[in-house]
A and B are shown apart, each in its own frame.
Chain A
Amino acid sequence: MTRRGPSRVSSHAHGRSHGRARRDWGLAAALLAPSLSILGVFVLYPLGRAILLGRQRCDPSGDNCRTNGWHQYVDVFRSREFQQAFGVTFRFALMTVPIGLVLGVALAVLVDKQLRGMGAFRTIFSSTVATSVAVASLMWFFLLEPSVGVLADWIGGTAKNPGLLHSEGTALWAVAVSSIWANLGFTFIVVTAGLQGIPADLYESAYVDGASGWMRFSNVTFPMLGPTLLFASVVLTGRAFQSYGEFDLLTGGGPNGSTTSLTYLIYGNNSLIKNDQGLQSASAVLLFIVLLALALLQIRGVEKRVHYGN
């Protein structure tokens, strides 16, 4: 009944709404103009230019361009370098997103108790939010540095020679660990907020029904966190695909291209296309399309299984 309410009202008002819409058009346009012009100048126009530039090959100054057409996008997508970088980025997301979510939820659930001193733990667990990528990366760089790094000496083996960031097999994992660490504060805060939104009476009912701690987590906490986890996973996936600072500062895309992510291929100092704006634009637009598709997939695919409460 309540769901039908608004539609009935709108069908009643339908006859008048056309006239009013026309009258309000000018005002709406005037009110929208500031944000539209900013959006246009800083987002839509550059995006349009980037899409057009992706069909061209230019000299390093961006002059003397040759327009090759849309098949340049296909060529870039199918090229060895793009495919490899795509694979690296995809694996990086597969490493960072699930582990980051699990750790974030675990930490948030641990401190979601009305006990003295929990505030201190909350502060500690959320502190990485205040750490920039550059600082976090430099810290991990020196922890993992094989000659003078503390972690290198503790772990030994590959960590000492050639070093976790210097071995093709471990470099991506090492970068992923630093990224997971740096993003943990964000996940922790979002999940904590989600936990606080779960009504206490649900837990009370579960408790009365004799549910154990784990059953309360799996049957109450986890489903009620659905929207939060969806949001966090979309944001973390986006971040994983757009990570740049970690790769630039920790590995420079190496060793042997094993950490050349899409962003590093587009922008990195050691990229083969660093002075080819056409190829850079094409790669960037393709990354945009991939991210858009992934976000749609996550939202549309998971939405139905997410419980939004009433």
Chain B
Amino acid sequence: MSALRLRITMPALAVCLGLAACGSGQSILQAGNEPPPPTTAAPSTLPGQTTVPTLPPTTLPRPIDSLPGCDVEALDIAAAGGPVEIVFWHGLSNELKRELERITDEYNSSQDRVRVRLEAQGTYEDNIDKYLQSNTDNRPDLVQLPEYAVQLMIDTESSVPVQACMEDAGYAAAELLPAALTAYASESVQWAMPFNVSNPVLYYNRKVFRDAGLDDDKPPLTLAEVSAYGQQIQQTGAASYGISLDSAPDGGGGWFLEQWLAKEGELYSDNDNGRSAPSTRVLFDGPTSVALLTELQQVVTTGGGVYVGENPGGQDHLLKLADATTPAAMTISTSAALGPVLKFVEGGIIPGIGVEDIGIGPMPSPNGAPGALIGGASLWITAGHGDAKAAAAWEFITHLVSAAVQSQWAAATGYVPVNSGALALDPLQSVYADDPRFRVAYDQVAQAPDDPTFAGPVIGPLREVRVTAAAAVGKILSGGDPATALADAAALATDLIASYNATRPSN
């Protein structure tokens, strides 16, 4: 490069590295779009009032005949010539993975019709990425996917809805928890089978409660109680803080907001949370949400609470209870963490605190309403691999959600059993009798009212929408203005949905 060219290139690059000159101020989501779509420019200032949606609802319900079918008898024919092998991608690790392997091995050796080959793909996110990037031939016959992937999976148009198999087999779903089923149903189609269910619960330090003069059998149910308890804990010096709150997308920032809106009887997105037709915009910037997050902000500012940040490792809020110098007395976390938490406490992570000192209560909310949305994951049957494989996958699913297996699975992992029959069977029966803490999450599912708000949102880019909501919650818990933070997040979330819908298969 000649000196002259260098003299020209260097400043040019320096200017662009100086950034300000190059920025358009536009969101990356608008990249490539000719003019920014006008529909997203005026989002949801008054979300309570339904304005004209950007996408009209499709015909409802979606006819089951228009979707890939299921012929359960195909397995009988195919199995006559030897067992049908199916591949099952899951996203579990550690003890959860080992328990699934044990159940699967037992299933494989108990019959000659189906052989299940487990493939651990890492996390749920890895499962989603690999599934999306594979073509039909490379996809597994059965895949486990998290609650936020429902619309994303529907739009891949790559699965046999479990409803098709239920109808073909005359399967009686009477014992399955209705709330768990509803979480994976939309447009009147049961898409997937719930398998491992969890929801947020309150973790609290009973010893701190007693030291503060609080009844350690009565955990706070409302946010006002959380604040009052926090103040008393601080005033008596029993602990430095009341509750520790985080703003992780899959925790206190994103997932909990969905839970709280459901508990308040509010929709999270339009078209009945995307259950009657795909959502076109989010509704979490309405007056109820603003009031809710203002109250949550007050829990931190005046209610003795502490905000522990975006919690990228998923542990910071729980570790705050084990802080040697400035501990908190409560936090909200997924019920799936109960097993590991008790194991940590047993190992002596909090000096002077034993496993019996960890209390579990329902997730507190503004008004203390019972019930919770379904978290965890469900099982999806892949279409295009032939009737025998689909039927084999279905047969394995019925085994996994049977009362006997769910009793073992829930007892070993702490997940909520999706089959109510499991409660009357050991080992789960004795686990719940011996340690009612494990039952709290189950009761929350059982108490959830049958209402679209309690089915939770299905949105194509729900994971990304959660990230925007979590950013807003983070700003609010750090002292930001709730209305502004929520409005900004809702505008971005609505852009995400518009951008997703622009490439939906039906468009």
Residues of A within 8 A of B (CB): 55-66, 68-69, 71-72, 75-83, 86-87, 90, 141, 145-148, 153, 160-163, 165-166, 249-252, 254-257, 269-276, 278-279, 282-283, 293, 296-297, 300-301
Contacts and interface: CB of A to CB of B under 8 A. Distances in A.
A162 B308 contact: yes
B309 A166 contact: yes
B30 interface: yes
Contacts of B475: 256
Given A254-B312, A255-B309, A61 B132 contact: yes
B170 interface: no
B17 A90 contact: yes
B98 to A, nearest CB: 22
Interface stretch (B101-109, B228-236, B498-506): B498-506
A147 B503 contact: no
Given A80-B26, A153-B324, A257 B471 contact: yes
B172 interface: no
A148 B313 contact: no
* Nearest 6 pairs of A and B residues by beta carbon: A68-B32, A252-B312, A166-B309, A72-B32, A75-B31, A78-B24
Given A60-B155, A145-B316, A275-B461, 20 more contacts: A60-B152, A66-B502, A75-B32, A78-B22, A79-B28, A141-B313, A147-B316, A147-B320, A148-B323, A161-B326, A163-B309, A256-B475, A257-B471, A272-B468, A272-B492, A272-B496, A274-B463, A278-B32, A296-B1, A300-B6
Interface string B1-34: 1000010011001000101001111111111110
A272 B28 contact: yes
A162 B307 contact: yes
Given A254-B312, A272-B496, A279 B31 contact: yes
Q: Is the interface of A mostly helix, strand, loop or mixed?
A: loop
A142 B17 CA distance: 34
Given A146-B308, A278-B32, A86 B19 contact: yes
Contacts of A55: 32
Name, among A250, A255, A283, the residue most crowded by chain B CB atoms within 10 Å (CB to CB).
A255
Nearest to B133: A62
Contacts of B27: 79-81
A283 B31 CA distance: 11
Nearest to B505: A64
Interface string B139-175: 0000000000000100110100000000000000000
Contacts of A249: 312-313
Given A147-B322, A160-B326, A269-B125, A71 B32 contact: yes
Given A66-B503, A86-B19, A163-B309, A272 B249 contact: no
Name, among B24, B25, B307, B475, the residue most crowded by chain A CB atoms within 10 Å (CB to CB).
B24
Contact of A146 (B132, B316, B467): B316
Contacts of A252: 310, 312
B471 A256 contact: yes
Interface string B399-435: 0000000000000000000000000000000000000
Given A61-B156, A297-B13, A147 B319 contact: yes
A62 B6 contact: no
B309 A76 contact: no
Interface of B: 1, 6, 9-10, 13, 17, 19, 22-33, 125, 132-133, 152, 155-156, 158, 249, 306-310, 312-313, 315-316, 319-320, 322-327, 349, 460-461, 463-464, 467-468, 471, 474-475, 492, 496, 499-500, 502-505, 507
A282 B30 CA distance: 13
B468 A301 contact: no
Nearest to A58: B503
B22 A59 contact: no
A254 B22 CA distance: 24
B310 A254 contact: yes
Nearest to A270: B467
Contacts, number: 176
Nearest to A71: B32
Nearest to A299: B1
B310 A166 contact: yes
Nearest to A275: B461
Name, among B467, B496, B507, the residue most crowded by chain A CB atoms within 10 Å (CB to CB).
B467
A282 B461 contact: no
B325 A153 contact: yes
A270 B156 CA distance: 21
A59 B156 CA distance: 9
B467 A77 contact: no
B31 A282 contact: yes
Contact of A254 (B323, B468, B474, B503): B474
B6 to A, nearest CB: 6
A272 B465 CA distance: 8
A78 B323 contact: no
Name, among B19, B23, B499, the residue most crowded by chain A CB atoms within 10 Å (CB to CB).
B23
Contacts of A60: 132, 152, 155-156, 460, 500
Name, among A59, A65, A82, A278, the residue most crowded by chain B CB atoms within 10 Å (CB to CB).
A59
Nearest to A85: B28
Nearest to B249: A270
Contacts of A148: 319, 322-324, 349
13 contacts: A61-B158, A75-B24, A75-B31, A77-B22, A78-B23, A251-B312, A254-B312, A254-B474, A256-B310, A257-B471, A269-B463, A270-B467, A275-B463
A234 to B, nearest CB: 15
Contacts of A283: 28
A56 B503 CA distance: 11
Contacts of A163: 308-309, 316
A72 B10 contact: no
A20 B314 CA distance: 66
Contact of A79 (B6, B24, B133): B24
Contact of B19 (A65, A87, A296): A87
B25 A69 contact: no
A57 B28 contact: no
Contact of A255 (B324, B468, B474): B474
